[in-house]
Structure 1
Amino acid sequence: MDPLLAEVWGVRLWYYGLAFALGFSAVFLWMMLRRSYAGLSSRQVVDLSLIFSLSCLVAGRAFQILVYELEIFRGRYSEVFAFWKGGMAYEGVMVGALAGVSLFCIIHRKSFLLLADELVIPFAFLLALVRLGGHLNGEVYGYVTTAWWAVKFPHVEGFRHPVALYEVFKCFILMLILLVVGRRGTQGQGRLLGHFMLWCGIFDLIIDIFQAPGALFRSIGTGCYLNALMALIGLLLIASSTRRASRKTTELSTLRFAPASLIATIPSRLNTGTFFRILLFLAILLFCLTIPGGWSRQWLYNLALL
């Protein structure tokens, strides 16, 4: 498994960072597809993509440092912002997604539950890509097994459960569930978010059975509690959504996107502010490519890059 994608002008680009770049791009494209239903303008979709991507990156980094690697960064505070040296927590990315959507809704006075329902499907796709990048890094592995699909990870002995691939499969199953739920003609706000949290929590409880405690500094006991809490919150959201005033929704099967017509409208609608936002979002996507993995210095030391 080679985590290095390429090296351009002395700058290393990584598959793990590519996962974030593709995931954030998917969120942007999905919301452009669904902006009329979500009540967003094209400029607001760009704003949402900016806030969402930045909050995921900042929270993922902060969670990794504060929860898992505080001792490593103690006395090295200048390296807190060195994303290119690695250090992104999966759980922090999820927290950042919630925070980013909340902040956008406060700024633009939008319904949090409505936007959350729209974002859970592309967000599940983002998580699948991130876990795939983590697998290529050899960061997330399970117990030793004799199963034919077992994988030999670097720096650990024996063939082990490819837990990260289990989570990739989980995310695609989750997307399928959300698409099926979303095809129903009517639904209360927060229903898709509830199903996302419910099934994500249940699947993660099952996957944790195969995960080795030392992989990416995770504690199985803590993870089980968090997954159970996530599933419970999901159940509560589903139950509460049925009591809200339901509204007729645009079925997901009617999604249409006309790239040619969209591109044709850009010159007449693109002002300086929107142009700057688009450039900033593209810069974030390029910056993501420099993020090597979820682990920080330990993984880079193993690769003899520090």
Structure 2
Amino acid sequence: MLRYPDIDPVIVAIGPLAVRWYGLMYVLGFAAAYLLVRRQARQFAWQQMLDQLDNLNLTLIFGVILGGRLGYVLFYNLPYYLEYPLEVFATWQGGMSFHGGVLGVLVSGLIYCRCTKLNFWQGADLYAVTAPIGLGLGRIGNFMNGELYGRTTEVAWGMIFPSGGELPRHPSQLYEALLEGLVLFLILWPLRTKPWQKPRNRNWPHGSLLAFFLIFYGLFRYLIEFFREPDPQLGLLLLGMSMGQLLCTAMLCTGLLLYWFLRQQQTTVLR
């Protein structure tokens, strides 16, 4: 059994302003995505993406924040926010949904690409292979905040969290950082050149990497949810699944359908 390390979630505070580890993880994740997308755009000589990258990144940041917040409101605590609608804007109190953030990024990215004539599927691939870095850092931020911990356990590495009672729990944030972050990155990053190979590869249409991201993230997160404490206001839902597992099931199926659709579209074009 381990005790949660004494981690101050605030790095430095000046008056009412505070820099927190969790916020820093977000900044590092966005910065890593920006730099790696730029690197790929240069590698593939995609000048239009390079010209639009700054504005696209700002659009996606707005999309992930808005989508993440609205996703939490709709998926995890709608009755509360219907009763207290102004609390929707109290983001400093916490409450962000990854799945809502994904929807926000996809919608904002699609709108931006339509308006600027960028190829959405090509751009989605560039970002999909970089996303695990931000996800892994975000889960480390959750661990530093002592939040989103796991279910009670008797394993040797079970940890007592300050707000989790006296029983040891799975450090599920670290499981997520490993699978959703490091392992997912190691799966996707080596595949980044596949859709760009010439002559056109029937097995790797543009958008494939986005589909693989949805599939593998959905699978990894679904499995980790067995170790993660369900949200207290929801508990376990349909067929004993958590809300995270229900959303990951939809995510995994969406990834499979997307890959099938892209392959069908490519086959039609190549005929």
When normalised by structure 2's length, the TM-score is 0.80
Give the unaligned 5+ runs of structure 1: 247-306
Counterpart contact for 1:142–1:215, Cα < 8 Å? no
Size of the alignment, in residue pairs?
A: 246
The farther-off stretch of 58-67 and 13-22 is 58-67
Q: Which residue of 2 aligns with 1:225?
A: 246
Once the two structures are superposed, residues 25-57 of structure 1 have per-residue CA deviations (whole angstroms, 9 ceiling, x without a partner) of: 122212221234344354410011100001111
| Letter matched to residue 200 of structure 1 | Y
Change (3 A) 1:110 1:17: same
Change (3 A) 1:111 1:18: same
Change (3 A) 1:52 1:208: same
Would you say 1:214 and 2:231 are equivalent positions? yes
Q: Which residue of 2 aligns with 1:51?
A: 59
What is the RMSD of the two structures over their aligned residues, measured on CA atoms?
Answer: 2.4
Would you say 1:202 and 2:219 are equivalent positions? yes
| Letter matched to residue 12 of structure 2 | A
Counterpart contact for 1:141–1:215, Cα < 8 Å? no
Change (3 A) 1:218 1:121: farther
Q: Which residue of 1 aligns with 2:184?
A: 174
Once the two structures are superposed, residues 190-249 of structure 1 have per-residue CA deviations (whole angstroms, 9 ceiling, x without a partner) of: 111111111111112211111222368564343323222222222223333334449xxx
| Letter matched to residue 159 of structure 1 | P
- Aligned equivalents of 2:235, 2:217: Cα separation in 1: 17
Counterpart contact for 2:21–2:141, Cα < 8 Å? yes
Q: CA deviation at 1:176?
A: 0.9
Once the two structures are superposed, residues 53-90 of structure 1 have per-residue CA deviations (whole angstroms, 9 ceiling, x without a partner) of: 01111111222234334455556555533433333222
When normalised by structure 1's length, the TM-score is 0.72
Q: Which residue of 2 aligns with 1:132?
A: 140
Q: CA deviation at 1:181?
A: 2.7
The farther-off stretch of 107-116 and 217-226 is 217-226
Q: Which residue of 1 aligns with 2:96?
A: 88
- Aligned equivalents of 1:216, 1:164: Cα separation in 2: 20
Secondary structure at the counterpart of residue 196 of structure 1:
helix
Counterpart contact for 1:189–1:244, Cα < 8 Å? no
Would you say 1:117 and 2:134 are equivalent positions? no
| Letter matched to residue 199 of structure 1 | F
Q: CA deviation at 1:177?
A: 0.8
Once the two structures are superposed, residues 253-304 of structure 1 have per-residue CA deviations (whole angstroms, 9 ceiling, x without a partner) of: xxxxxxxxxxxxxxxxxxxxxxxxxxxxxxxxxxxxxxxxxxxxxxxxxxxx
Secondary structure at the counterpart of residue 162 of structure 2:
coil
- Aligned equivalents of 1:216, 1:142: Cα separation in 2: 16
Counterpart contact for 2:64–2:104, Cα < 8 Å? yes
- Aligned equivalents of 1:174, 1:216: Cα separation in 2: 30
Map 1:1-306 onto structure 2 (within 5 A): 1-36=7-42, 37=44, 38-70=46-78, 72-73=80-81, 77-157=85-165, 158-170=167-179, 171-184=181-194, 185=197, 186=201, 187-214=204-231, 219=236, 220-245=241-266
